[in-house]
Amino acid sequence: MKDINALKAFLDTPKKVIITTHSNPDADALGSSLGLYHFLKGRGHDVDVITPTDYPQFLHWMQGNEEVIVYDDTKADRIKTMINQTDLICCLDFNGMGRIKSLGPLVAQSPAKKLLVDHHLNPEEFADFELWDKTAAATAELIYDLILLLDGKEEITVGIAEALYAGIMTDTGSFKHNSTSAKIHRTVAELMDIGVDINRVSRLIYDTNSLNRLRFIGYALMEKLVVDAENKVAYFVINAEEHERFHLKSGDTEGLVNYALSIQGIHIAAIIMERNGEVKMSFRSVGNHAVNDFASQYFSGGGHKNAAGGISDLPLDETVEKFKSLIPNFQ
Ligand code: 5GP
Ligand code: MN
């Protein structure tokens, strides 16, 4: 950790703190944010969580969910004032201002100190305090480490522990990905000792599908999955009409790409979809195929070696053509 003693000294007196995380927050983003939120509040700081966009219903069970401020244009002035008047901005589970949409310019120009806690490659240099580790499986793992560095283990409540566990469980793919270390299992053991009911958290995240979502997955697998066996690539293209037809909500397409990757012999999987007026892409791979490099080179994106995402500024059909033309290089 860069400057832990400086951070400790800084947090010695009550501060105004804003916690933010990447757009379309997932369980790691929200769990890290709410975990840190409760911890810092417990220490007497005045804390707010602001997300750049909304997030899926299956995360709403987390303690503190109703306190989260979700950015939208009607709140822009109020949020700008908050960001300008805060003492510290905690940037969790992202490391570039492009990942927080309209909050990016506001955070970048704020005079507040910045704390970065993250596990993505190539962080931009904006933080005064930094806990960055690309070998960490989840930002939630690093929030746990941070709390220990701040001598706060005894202050971890069940609500904090559940939020952190949710981030760890999902970012490790339920303890399957390469990033799943012995250390993270030890962290989880400690979270269980604090009182996390792992079955409860798992059911809240994975077993609260809407019927629409399941029907959509069935449709996508049946009608939309394209397999390029020669290049070992499989992908889905989902358009705006399909989003409407299946009443898809934030989070409903999450996990779909993994079905494509699960096909025997497939090494790289993608989903290309029109969502909220933009074309968003998700990439997954096995082994040495670095999809983050591919995403950053061609689709203004990034992420991890085996899980990355990006955005296209072309319409959906032109994006698909571009993607198809790149497939032979995508190895
Ligand atoms: P997902 O496909 O689940 O949305 O994201 C997979 C990984 O890629 C996550 O680590 C996420 O942070 C990263 N990622 C997703 N979309 C983008 C993007 O547009 N830009 C960057 N830099 N990273 C992204
Ligand atoms: Mn993460």
Evaluate whether the domain defined by 4-206 bears CATH number 2.60.120.10.
Answer: no
Mean pLDDT over 235-257 rounds to: 95
Q: Which ligand is nearest to the CA of 24?
A: 1
- pLDDT tens track for 250-267: 899 999 999 999 999 999
Same fold, 4-206 and 211-330: no
Q: Are the beta carbons of 267 and 285 closer than 8 angstroms?
A: yes
Over pLDDT 90: what percentage of the chain? 96
Instruction: Name the class of domain 211-330.
Output: alpha beta
Q: Which residues contact 149 (CB under 8 A, 6 or more apart)?
A: 1, 4, 131
Picking from 196, 134, 166, 148, the residue whose alpha carbon sits closest to that of residue 65 is 166
Does the pLDDT value for residue 176 go beyond 80? yes
Q: How many CB atoms lie within 10 A of CB 10?
A: 16
Q: How many CB atoms lie within 10 A of CB 277?
A: 6
Q: Is the CB of 304 under 6 A from ligand 1?
A: yes
Structure tokens at 17: 């703190």
Q: Are the beta carbons of 79 and 10 closer than 8 angstroms?
A: no
- pLDDT tens track for 3-23: 889 999 999 999 999 999 999
DSSP letters for 53-112: S---GGGTTSTTGGGPEEP-GGGHHHHHHHHHH-SEEEEES--SGGGGTTHHHHHHH--S
Q: Which ligand is nearest to the CA of 98?
A: 1
Identify the bridge partners of residue 310 per DSSP, sorted by sequence position: 281
- pLDDT tens track for 286-316: 999 999 999 999 999 999 999 999 999 999 9
Q: Are the beta carbons of 166 and 55 closer than 8 angstroms?
A: no
pTM over 0.85: yes
Residue 137 C-alpha to ligand 2 middle, in angstroms?
7
| CA 309 – CA 304 distance, rounded (Å) | 9
Instruction: Among 92, 120, 305, name the best residue to mutate to test ligand 1's pocket (greatest count of ligand atoms within 8 A of Cβ).
Output: 120
Write the residue with the smallest CA distance to atom 12 of ligand 1.
303
Pairing of β 307-312 and β 302-303: antiparallel
Residue 5 C-alpha to ligand 1 middle, in angstroms?
32
| CA 221 – CA 259 distance, rounded (Å) | 8
Write the residue with the smallest CA distance to atom 22 of ligand 1.
302
Residue 311 C-alpha to ligand 1 middle, in angstroms?
9
Write the residue with the smallest CA distance to atom 6 of ligand 1.
308
| CA 13 – CA 64 distance, rounded (Å) | 23
Residue type (1 letter), 269: A
Q: What's the pLDDT at 3? A: 80
Q: Which ligand is nearest to the CA of 92?
A: 2
Residue 99 C-alpha to ligand 1 middle, in angstroms?
9
Q: What's the pLDDT at 283? A: 98
Residue 327 C-alpha to ligand 1 middle, in angstroms?
19
Q: What's the pLDDT at 22? A: 98
All structural domains of the chain with their residue ranges: 4-206, 211-330
